[in-house]
Amino acid sequence: MAARRTILLTGASSGIGAYCARALQRDGWRVFATARTDADMAALEGDGVEALYLDYAEPASIAATASEVLRRTGGTLDALFNNGAYAQAGAVEDLPVEALRHQFEVNVFGWHDLTRRVVPVMRAQGHGRIVHCSSILGLVPIRFRGAYAASKHAIEGLMLCQRAELQGSGIHVCLIEPGPIASNIASNGLAWFERHIDHENSVHREAYQAQLARLRQGGAKSRFKLGPEAVYVKLRHALVSPAPRPHYVVTTPARIGVALKRLLPARMLYRFLSDKG
């Protein structure tokens, strides 16, 4: 019997990561999924997923998880899905430096650290898939999402460069760019907003009231918001296709954003986007 394909998937406590971890396990993969609480890890283990602790803001946990996964697999790994992240909301002028620094620590530097640990393994075995869950905000900007958008723009640039550098190695790098997906990212981001943004004394105080209302109800309500299964369709293609795409855009609003970026003059595009968010 052929060995099951192996994948390390991060941010599996809820939303996209939780769904994809279980879907991959059902599809025959050996899944190593990360979370940050005992309860979330126990839930994953109960569904046949091998759960490990990882916090992208803790380099020691990144090293320990990568080492443990490779120990269990005998030093091989077929795929990595960097997914765990959070969204720091707030106008750029209201962002303390420490808020921006932590956003990058989790959403960029942690991903880079983990990725660097698996690339040599994939090079040695001659194949591998590295998939990053980016965002449509990694391609187009909207107001009050500067920290998160900057982190996703950084991932796009960093990992597309790596994609070019890995040509011919048998390792494929792909980026998934979701638009609105049902998840906890908005509600989870509320604590970060309240921790770092002095919204009561900001010139944007009035606009923030609407932002806070949306965050407290779990994000904007939209008929275009899809479930995490929509991301899984793209992830599965990126993992098994003989010719995976560099970019996988998910949801109608994300596709519209990409189309407008191609079609509109920059000034017109940014004027249109300034009303969003």
Active site residues: 148
Q: Which two tokens stand for residue 113?
A: 């650290």
Q: Which residues pair with residue 172 across a beta bridge?
A: 129
27-33 long-range contacts (CB < 8 A, ≥24 apart) are 27/236, 28/4, 29/4, 29/5, 30/4, 30/5, 30/6, 30/73, 31/6, 31/7, 32/6, 32/7, 32/8, 32/65, 32/69, 32/72, 33/8, 33/9
**13: helix, coil or strand?**
coil
Alpha-helical (H) ranges within the chain are: 15-26, 38-46, 59-73, 97-104, 110-125, 146-165, 185-196, 205-216, 229-240, 252-263, 266-273
